[in-house]
């Protein structure tokens, strides 16, 4: 066998396929993120970052944010459209808009607002709280603040007041009833709005969110409602306010063909609105720009069969062609790309707490001479295992193992003997599984045998809090050890979290040509630190995370390189037990009071001493104000 190399690790975990030039593995076998330091790109070890945080007293798990990657994604998106516009002599502009719902964290909005100024990068708000957050951070008069979602009078008034202050706020009609409400508030305040209309495309989409588009999509106007809105605008003298046409095809669109088809239908509607007399300026093509999570560059739902450059070029081409045919000026193009902007921004790092092994390559001890004959029958199988009789040996092993279990239920075999039988059985299964590779055709029983030998690696995090899409929609995230990568990973594992829930696990992983049911990992010795990273988790995961088992937000830190120095900023401590209990309507003070009363009653009864009560109360208060995750 050839010696294991760093390139083998790169191939196994696909880091150069999904990493997009932002992640790699160094010669020391550690996963690195490439951060800019001035004009240079510097590889920074994730393991080094974690060690630095531990030295500062911060516990695992940790959510690492890299603002440099956020800035570079904004840059790459805008420069891709600039390049496409220049190459095709397109006469309009591009304006990116970030949908706040994808990751509403304050640091994200602040960074996008600051770095995005050079591109007049805007924000999209789909609710009143998002609008209020956006108005506090985005004050560029040349950027768009696009308002989608339901709008009550308070929402509309706030948006109109912002227009009065010089911000380009565009109120997009999602429902027919909204139009009259906006007109009435506009008349009441004496402020003319800038309006957009969201349209339900008939073009079918693809991927997890295909239902976001099409005739049965929840939001947007159909063609009849659209014409009714135009007629109402004409009647009320507000047609000159209609400047934007918007459609949303869905999130994580994997196939460029579907994107082109939707854009073709959309630009035809845009052209017709202009021909109706509306001064159409902006074509908002919504979200959908996908992230290649698995690195396959395919139309699989966790990937995409196009690059960012192709995406921009194709949209420009479609819009330019149909506007030219209709002799309509080229509009300003808007995309509401959220996932593609923030996915790379965050990496979740968690440690492995323990391991349950099912594979047993080492031969166990033989049963005692006076052990039940079924144990000896099971033990004898090891001498008969050959490639030609693997199915027969597996059948026998399964039969005798089950016989031992039946005998245990009846009281003829004790627990120690049952334990010996289980060890022998798993050793036999491991031996049989290793020889199936020599078979031309692997029987069905032996195919499933391999999956039964996958170990559980217990990880210090909650799937439901930090990676909810892995559970809810089977989203694939790149997951790999962040160190020891210069050593061959010989074990196969499912990652079980600490929620004690049967769904609290990750058992689908990126593989070179398929979805794997296990992750290749290294053998973990007792008490050894072993850290694993889940990458590309910046989109939706923090927003959707819940409080399953009352496990709260992990610690968060932003990491950058400045003047050759690794810098930790924006450190946010994860939720304490008191925090999460307060979220579900407990009062930490009341809890402490109740427990103190219970402890005092124990003192009065003589169950514990007053000194013991002091120790117990200190432990209770320490737990109440401690991290919700496992702490050393």
Mean pLDDT per segment of 10 residues, for the chain of length 632 residues?
88 96 97 95 97 95 97 97 97 97 95 96 97 96 96 96 96 94 97 97 70 65 96 97 95 95 97 97 96 92 94 98 97 97 97 91 91 95 93 95 96 95 94 88 86 93 96 94 97 94 93 87 90 97 90 96 92 95 96 97 97 97 95 85
* Strands 168-173 vs 194-198: parallel, antiparallel or unpaired: parallel
Strand-pair category, 40-45 with 31-37: antiparallel
Residue 282 β-bridge partners? 244, 332
Residue 258 has, within 13 A of its CA and on its CB side, a CA count of: 25
Chain position carrying tokens 């029983």: 445
Supply φ then ψ for residue 153, to 5 degrees: -60, -40
For the packed helices 444-452 and 415-435, what is the interaxial angle rounded to 10 degrees?
120
Tell me which residue of 66, 63, 62, 59 sits closest to 44, measured CA to CA: 66
In contact, 32 and 26? CB cutoff 8 Å = yes
State how beta strands 332-335 and 479-481 pair. Answer: unpaired
In the block, which residue shows the tokens 């992750």?
A: 519
Tell me what pLDDT residue 451 has.
83
CA 133 to chain centre: 23
**Which backbone phi and psi does 507 adopt, to 5 degrees?**
-130, 25
Q: What pLDDT is attached to residue 212? A: 57
Q: What is the pLDDT of residue 358?
A: 87
| pLDDT of res. 208 | 58
CB proximity list for 277: less than 8 A, separation 6 or greater: 234, 239
| pLDDT value of position 2 | 67
Looking up tokens 């607002």 gives 113
The SS3 call for residue 172 is strand
Distance separating alpha carbons of residues 366 and 376, to the nearest angstrom? 8
Contact 364, 427 (CB under 8 A): yes
The DSSP symbol for 356 reads: E
Structural contact between residues 346 and 553, judged by C-beta atoms closer than 8 angstroms: no
Q: In 3D, which of 178, 186, 140 has the Cα closest to residue 159? A: 186
In sequence order, what DSSP letters do the residues of 185-240 get, joined into one string? HHHHHT-PPEEEEEB---S---STTGGGSSTT-SSSB-HHHHHHHHHHHHHHT-GG
Residue 356: how many CB atoms within 10 A of its CB? Answer: 11
Strand order across the beta sheet in which 31-37 lies: 23-25, 31-37, 40-45
**Residue 430 structure tokens:** 């491991």
């Amino acid at each position: 066998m050839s010696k294991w190399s760093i390139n083998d690790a790169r191939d196994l975990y696909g880091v150069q396929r999904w990493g997009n030039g932002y992640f790699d593995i160094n010669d020391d076998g550690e996963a690195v993120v490439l951060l800019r330091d001035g004009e240079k790109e510097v590889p920074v070890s994730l393991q080094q970052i974690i060690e630095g945080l531990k030295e500062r007293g911060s516990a695992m798990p940790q959510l690492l944010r890299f603002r440099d990657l956020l800035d570079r994604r904004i840059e790459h998106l805008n420069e891709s459209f600039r390049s496409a516009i220049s190459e095709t002599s397109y006469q309009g502009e591009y304006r990116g808009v970030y949908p706040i719902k994808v990751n509403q964290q304050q640091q994200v909005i602040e960074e996008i607002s600051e770095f995005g100024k050079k591109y007049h990068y805007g924000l999209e708000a789909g609710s009143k709280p998002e609008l209020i957050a956006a108005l506090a951070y985005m004050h560029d008069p040349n950027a768009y603040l696009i308002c989608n979602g339901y709008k009550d009078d308070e929402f509309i008034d706030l948006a109109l007041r912002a227009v009065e202050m010089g911000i380009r706020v565009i109120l997009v009609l999602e429902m027919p009833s909204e139009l009259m409400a906006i007109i009435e508030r506009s008349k009441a305040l004496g402020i003319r709005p800038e309006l957009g209309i969201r349209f339900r495309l008939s073009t079918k989409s693809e991927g997890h969110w295909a239902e976001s588009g099409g005739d049965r999509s929840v939001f947007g106007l159909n063609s009849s409602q659209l014409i009714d809105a135009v007629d109402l605008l004409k009647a009320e003298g507000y047609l000159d306010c209609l400047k934007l046409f918007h459609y949303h095809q869905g999130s994580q669109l994997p196939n460029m063909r579907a994107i082109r088809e939707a854009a073709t239908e959309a630009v035809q509607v845009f052209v017709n609105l202009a021909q109706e007399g509306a001064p159409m300026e902006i074509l908002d093509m919504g979200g959908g720009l996908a992230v290649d999570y698995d690195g396959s560059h395919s139309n699989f739902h966790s990937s995409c069969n196009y690059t960012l450059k192709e995406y921009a070029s194709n949209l420009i081409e479609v819009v330019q062609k149909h506007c030219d045919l209709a002799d309509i000026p080229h509009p300003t193009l808007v995309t509401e790309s959220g996932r593609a902007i923030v996915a790379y921004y965050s990496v979740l790092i968690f440690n492995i707490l323990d391991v349950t092994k099912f594979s047993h390559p080492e031969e166990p001890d033989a049963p005692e001479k006076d052990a039940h004959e079924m144990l000896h029958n099971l033990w004898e199988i090891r001498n008969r295992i050959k490639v030609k009789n693997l199915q027969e040996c597996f059948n026998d092993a399964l039969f005798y193992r089950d016989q031992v279990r039946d005998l245990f239920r009846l009281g003829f075999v004790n627990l120690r003997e049952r334990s010996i039988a289980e060890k022998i059985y798993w050793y036999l299964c491991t031996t049989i599984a290793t020889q199936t590779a020599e078979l031309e055709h692997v029987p069905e029983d032996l195919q499933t045998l391999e999956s039964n030998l996958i170990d559980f690696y217990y990880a210090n995090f909650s799937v439901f809090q930090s990676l909810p899409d892995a559970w809810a929609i089977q989203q694939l995230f790149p997951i790999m050890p962040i160190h020891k990568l210069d050593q061959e990973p010989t074990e196969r594992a499912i990652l079980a979290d600490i929620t004690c829930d049967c769904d609290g696990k990750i058992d689908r992983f990126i593989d070179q040509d398929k979805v794997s049911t296990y992750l290749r990992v290294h053998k973990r010795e007792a008490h050894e630190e072993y850290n694993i990273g889940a990458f590309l988790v910046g989109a939706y995961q923090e927003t959707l995370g819940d409080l399953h088992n009352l496990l709260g937000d992990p610690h968060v830190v932003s990491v950058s390189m400045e003047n050759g120095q690794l810098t930790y900023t924006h450190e946010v401590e994860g939720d304490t037990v008191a925090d999460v209990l307060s979220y579900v309507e407990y009062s930490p003070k009341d809890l402490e009071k109740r427990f103190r009363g219970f402890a005092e009653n124990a003192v009065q009864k003589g169950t514990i001493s007053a000194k013991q009560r002091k120790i117990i109360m200190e432990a209770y208060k320490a737990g109440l104000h401690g991290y919700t995750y496992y702490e050393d």
